[in-house]
Chain A
Amino acid sequence: MTHRSQIIILIWGLVFMAIYGLALWRLLHMWPPPPANWTAEQVAQFYRENTLDIRIGAMVTSWCSAFMVPFACVAAIQLRRLEKGLPVWTVLHLAGGILMSMFLVLPPIFFGVAAYTPDRAPEITQLMHEYGLLMLVTTDQYYIFMMISIAVVSLTTNDELTAFPRWLGYYTLWAALAFEVGALAFLPKSGPFSWNGIMVFWMPISVFGVWVITTSIVMIRAILAQQRAEEGLAAETVGGLESTV
């Protein structure tokens, strides 16, 4: 049962992530975001024109934007399986994973607030808009702890049924490093390092998506293998008992 529960909540998270991505793209119109050098009037115009779309987007994401919570829970359970002694890295992963989720939850709310009263003074709408977008792309704070925990446990343990093979450990290290570039979006307002640029938007968002999907698939396969191993063990025990009887 616990194996199936892990797989169910993991897929639940992936489905919600897909909906979140679609909402970001089609409803919130933030995939890719509008240029960072827009004037307050341009931003206000954008929210006036798309007010309903964006409010519906904010509503949809209100239901599904916490999609990293189940992922972090399953990953933490799988880390706990591997970690010997006190579960230091497991707890760090869970804390990091849960908290980083906040920065995916909050931006759509800010976009929704910006679109909620689009006729207010343009500078105020611009403030909400900038708040939302910079939060979406620059928030690397918790990823580090979340991902380094997976990398450390992956590279320091040796288990046949591990959910985190060594290559995934190295891949996770690289992904963590690639994310760190996002924070640079505070500095330029145009070019590849601004919030709609290749280095700050496209690269981290694709690295993130591919990393979450890859890690989930690897975890699901490991969980299935763990289930088979346990069932095999249980069958063996039953067989052993019968033969002794």
Chain B
Amino acid sequence: MTDSVSEKQAATPTRIPGEAGVWLFVLGDMILFAVMFGIFLHYRWLEPELFVQSQATLNTSYGAINVLLLLTSSWFVASAVERLKKNEAREGHQLLMGAFACGTGFSVIKLLEYSEKIGAGITVDTNTFYLYYFFLTGIHFLHVVIGMFVLGYLISKARTFDVSRNDVAHYESGGIYWHMVDLLWIVLFPLIYLVQ
């Protein structure tokens, strides 16, 4: 009995969620961000006082709410994929809508935060801290916006989803991308807003 199980396991190769190409994309993007995190830490090390002073002007609540929003959205996406696998298209569709709503919330808060900064006369030209604050969060925000389009596309297809006809890997791939966007913010938030 045990033998036949292990034989079976050996025969079926380990399935990767989504498809290999998405992981290639995610790996490439994470390397890109890792380099940018390194750059930020390097300049922080060169001007520690300026970075601590400027950091104090950031709105930590906005950053923290956005962590919660993205974590929640990741849960929505993961649950949606689970539901779709069980062929529960309606529930899957609703859960994806929940993820989209969280992404919208993130975007609104991000734009509010930027407009407050710009209103206070703080721009990329103010100092090195703000230059990297705007660049890093801005590049991340671009990823969020792209993710919203991906979610929008998946939502448009989810209502009529059928496991026998459609490929759940598309949803897994989109989910993997969205989890990466979430993960990057979980690193960015403490790095820019909190680390003393």
Instruction: Give A contacts to B, CB under 8 Å.
Output: 166-167, 169-171, 173-174, 177-178, 180-181, 184, 187-188, 191-193, 198-199, 203
Contacts and interface: CB of A to CB of B under 8 A. Distances in A.
B142 A191 contact: no
Contacts, number: 49
Given A184-B135, A191-B43, A199 B36 contact: yes
B146 to A, nearest CB: 8
Interface of B: 19-22, 24-25, 28-29, 32, 35-36, 39, 43, 124-125, 128, 131, 135, 139, 142-143, 146
A171 B135 contact: no
Nearest to B138: A184
19 contacts: A166-B21, A167-B20, A167-B21, A167-B24, A169-B21, A170-B22, A174-B29, A177-B142, A177-B143, A177-B146, A184-B135, A187-B131, A188-B131, A191-B43, A191-B131, A198-B35, A198-B39, A199-B39, A203-B35
Given A180-B142, A191-B43, A174 B35 contact: no
A174 B143 CA distance: 11
A192 B131 CA distance: 11
Given A166-B19, A167-B20, A170-B21, A178 B28 contact: yes
B50 to A, nearest CB: 14
A178 B35 CA distance: 12
A97 to B, nearest CB: 22
Q: Say whether chain A's binding surface is mostly helix, strand, loop, or mixed.
A: helix
A100 to B, nearest CB: 20
A25 B25 CA distance: 30
A166 B139 CA distance: 25
Contacts of B22: 170
A191 B36 contact: no
A171 B131 contact: no
B131 A174 contact: no
B25 A173 contact: yes
Given A170-B21, A174-B29, A177-B29, A188 B124 contact: yes
A167 to B, nearest CB: 4
Given A166-B19, A188-B124, A171 B25 contact: yes
Contacts of B20: 167
Contacts of A203: 32, 35
A166 B135 CA distance: 30
